[in-house]
Structure 1
Amino acid sequence: MATVTSPRRAPGGAGVMPDTPGWARWANDHRKWLFAAPAMAFVAALIVIPLGWTVWLSLTDAEGSVRAESEFIGFRNYLDVLSDTDRFWPAVGRTATFTLIALAFEVVLGMAVALLLWRPFKGQKWVRVAILLPLVATPVAVGMMWRLIFDPNIGLANQVLGRFGVGPQPWLTGQNSALYTTIFIDVWQWTPMVVLILLAGLTSLSEEPQEAARIDGASSWQRFRHVTLPLLMPTVIVAILLRGIDALKTFDILYATKGKGGGSFHEVETLNVYAYGLSFDYNEYGVSSTVLILFFLIIVGSMWALTARRRKEAKR
């Protein structure tokens, strides 16, 4: 009876015959990278090419049109922008204020709502749907809606306040109140996103630490502080990163509510709104590219700072 021999395999079980050419062996060993390479190259091109073009424009005096002849001026734009105390640095301050306050409220409110939705109760699915409704609308539509609500003359907000004997408020028209009003709008729309992320993290937690703490007599606050929050911290950091970067880049709500320049007195002009105005209102492409590169560095630096603690813990 003939003996059936199985094909010989290369060491490690890779399934490659010993007489396979060297390039085929290399391709088999690196197949996971080769399959992903086209997609990775495409994504890299989408990032590197626009970023490189923006860096080049920031080093020129391009204005009027990006196709017009421009002269290489080195870092002159950067020196001019960084010494601009009238528009650039106030825009940096507004961007930081908007991001930090909005992010703080969204994380705290998102955590509170996620904890309320963590345990099952009657009508829970309808409550979840209602909470997530603000995410359905586009930011421009949300901005226009709240612009009508906060209208100082016909807006619903002042009409409600009037029923309680409170005089009309400027809301979006006031120099001191406009930025905080837009922060409220951002919190209203994007807190559900934080709720969604944190609720997913809560549902993935094991019940055993909670039960052990409950048996030991820990109160609800003690269980949250010493058990739930430490276990949930990686998810909280993810929520802060995603929402923080998005808040830094906020543009549509601000432009929909205040228009060009962030208002007549630039009261809600963040870096995004400032760069947009330089590009499309004044056609100063070299300066606007400089602002965008500096903004990009601020975002990267913020991401690095937010993840610094996690990197230290990972090294331990």
Structure 2
Amino acid sequence: MAFVAALIVFPLAWTGYLSLTDAEGSVRAESEFVGFQNYVEVLSDTDRFWPAVARTVAFTGVALLFEVVLGMAIALLLWRPFKGEKWVRVAILMPLVATPVAVGMMWRLIFDPNIGLANQVLGWVGIGPQPWLAGQHSALPTTIFIDVWQWTPMVVLILLAGLTSLSDEPQEAALIDGASAWQRFRHVTLPLLMPTVIVAVLLRGIDALKTFDILYATKGRGGGSFHEVETLNVYAYGLSFDYNEYGLSSTVLILFFLIIIGSMWALTARKKGAQR
């Protein structure tokens, strides 16, 4: 416990200290204590910081919504035994095998506006080529699609585990009472499964908030030429490793950490309410 606490507390405390200094250029360079000046500067930055916050929220919210809905649908389909069930489960879990960087590079080639397979498929059905990752307004939705493609199987695993642990008696009683499939899902399955859904949302939501590798692998520095996919992670990375602004980047990371803690607290409180 002490070892784990040290791994968490020391980096967090050091980052908090750097956020109160004007550290730049090198981590070994002398720096001065500036108090909350960095926080004032970051929170008043309407060109990069707040748009990055909006993209982070949009990316997390939309990706999480699709992953939970699709994960629930797939988990319900896999809930009951059927022929070829094992092969279908293996196929669904395949996206989890590859690393996010490899997935990002693969989809970057698929969505290439000139030689990519995606535009070739659209051409077969008479639809013109799309910019996908190259477009200023289409890049963020495209990266959300990539994230949904890779991480929906994780939600499927969690929800499927929850479904298999449910008792069959409430389902059988509802069936005897004449409830339809939708009524059984809405009034029986979903309420019983809600604690598991909250766990899936909590785990996947926090992970989606921290997404970096897919975004950097597909768009590179700054989240693209117009910062079209620049989330808080990408923004903080650029401040640290592109501009060596360690004080400002630490400030962004501390604010981001507070956002994650707030999200965890809200979802945990919702989970406790669902369990009651």
What is the aligned counterpart of 1:249 among 210, 221, 225? Answer: 210
Contact 2:211 2:233 in 1 (8 A): yes
TM-score, structure 2 normalization: 0.99
What CA distance in whole angstroms lies between the structure 2 residues aligned with 1:225 and 1:99?
25
Q: In the alignment, is the contact (CA less than 8 A) between 2:195 and 2:274 conserved in 1?
A: no
Is residue 2:78 matched to residue 1:117? Answer: yes
Of residues 303-312 and 235-244 in structure 1, the stretch that sits farther from structure 2 once superposed is 303-312
Work out whether 1:215 is the aligned partner of 2:176.
yes
Who is 1:175 aligned against?
Answer: 136
Which amino acid is 1:103 matched to?
A: L
Offset at 1:313?
5.6
Query: 1:10 maps to which residue?
Result: none
1:275 equivalent in structure 2? 236
Q: Following TM superposition, by how much is the alpha carbon of 1:53 offset from its aligned partner in structure 2, in angstroms?
A: 0.2
Equivalents in 2 of 1:248, 1:310: separation in Å?
19
| Aligned equivalents of 1:107, 1:301: Cα separation in 2 | 21
Alignment correspondent of 2:199: 238
Q: CA deviation at 1:283?
A: 0.3
The one-letter amino acid of 2:224's match is: G
Q: How many residues align?
A: 276
Distance 1:312 1:196 in 2: 23
Measured in 2, the distance between the counterparts of 1:222 and 1:304 equals: 32
Instruction: Report if the CA contact (8 A) 2:198-2:270 is conserved.
Output: no
Which amino acid is 1:44 matched to?
Answer: A
Alignment of structure 1 residues 1-316 onto 2, 5 Å = 40-312=1-273
Query: Deviation at 1:303?
Result: 1.1
Q: Which amino acid aligns with 2:201?
A: I
The RMSD of aligned alpha carbons is 0.9
* CA separation of 1:312 and 1:237: change in aligned 2, threshold 3 A: closer
Where in structure 2 are there 5+ consecutive unaligned residues? none
Letter in 2 for 1:78: Y
Q: Which residue of 2 aligns with 1:35?
A: none
- 1:147-178, Cα deviation, whole Å (9 max, x unpaired): 00000000000001011111110000000000
Specify the structure having the higher radius of gyration (Cα).
1
Using the aligned pairs only, state the percent identity.
87
Shift of 1:311: 3.5
CA distance in 2, matches of 1:165, 1:124: 36
Q: Which amino acid aligns with 1:138?
A: T
How much does 1:216 deviate?
0.8
